[in-house]
Amino acid sequence: MEDWKDQTGSRLLETKHVFHLLFSNPASAVGATGVFALVFIMIFAPFIATHDPYAFELSDQFLPPSWAHFFGTDHLGRDIFSRVVWGSRISLTVGFITLLESAILGTLIGLVAGYKRGLVDTIMMRITDIFLAFPSTILALAIAAALGRGITSVMIALGVTWWPLYARLVRGQTLSIREEQYIETARLSGASSFRIMFRHILPNCIAPLMVQVSMDVGFTILAAAGMGFLGIGAQAPEPEWGLLCSTGSRYFLQQWWIAAFPGLAIFLSVMTFNLLGDGVRDMLDPRLRRR
């Protein structure tokens, strides 16, 4: 019982220290607060939205922002505030799932390539180079177009184009870590390659992975919004931010609010995740933390 209390107290102190480091930097504090707000909106969208995001009323077309409709209404009389709030679920889900699949695939490939080296490393890295040779946006558009329109196609396409970055990152870390003395000791003690890779090497790759993931979430949201803007991603009547901007661009000169508020949501999301990524990097790098 005492051990359990000691462990719990130590974890609480570690958590408090992490939050202190994160919020001691004004930029990362803004980023972390923004990310928490986005996640909160995503989870509680049904309670935050003031209207049904899919309900339309033609008599309420093109109403400007007001107390009745905070962000105004679109060409079908739908409440833009509610559609932006519900759109957070789509955009953030795309960002999180895309990076999850990219990080898992890239980590596995980079870990095996860096540890095995030789022919295995050469084959895996040449495959990685093939993917890196294509502009990521063009490759993602081509894959999504081939798979068909929809959110699932976008997540697969972005995941396929994003994993080489993580493979390169983890491979570089693995090549460095595998030469450490404790790895050689584990190998001589009879530990299997699987145990060495996942028990000793992978935990030491988590810090750079966390930094990369936290900085890439915003870019995946932006990429998914761009594909939605081009009509490849989410399809009407889904309230995806890129699709909302695409619809609003037709009326921008007269009814600016239709595209402006979804665009602002994209901008704030990318900015907050980038600020958070910078904060996580500073927090995990002792050299930067001492400055």
The predicted-structure confidence for 110-154, as pLDDT tens digits, reads as follows 999 998 888 988 999 999 998 888 888 888 888 888 888 888 888
User: How far is residue 199's CA from residue 282's CA, in Å, rounded to a whole number?
Assistant: 26
What pLDDT does 7 receive? 45
Q: Which tokens belong to 59?
A: 């008599």
pTM for this prediction: 0.84
User: How far is residue 140's CA from residue 22's CA, in Å, rounded to a whole number?
Assistant: 33
Beta carbons of 232 and 150 less than 8 angstroms apart? no
Q: How confident is the model at residue 82 (pLDDT cuts 50, 70, 90)?
A: very high
What pLDDT does 40 receive? 94
Q: Is 9 exposed, middle or buried (0-12, 13-18, 19+ CB in 10 A)?
A: exposed
On the question of pLDDT at 260 being above 90, the answer is yes
Helices (H), the chain: 2-24, 26-43, 45-48, 80-116, 118-133, 136-147, 151-177, 181-188, 193-195, 206-229, 241-249, 257-284, 286-289
What are the structural domains of the chain? 73-289 (1.10.3720.10)
List the one residue out of 234, 255, 225 whose CA is nearest residue 74.
255
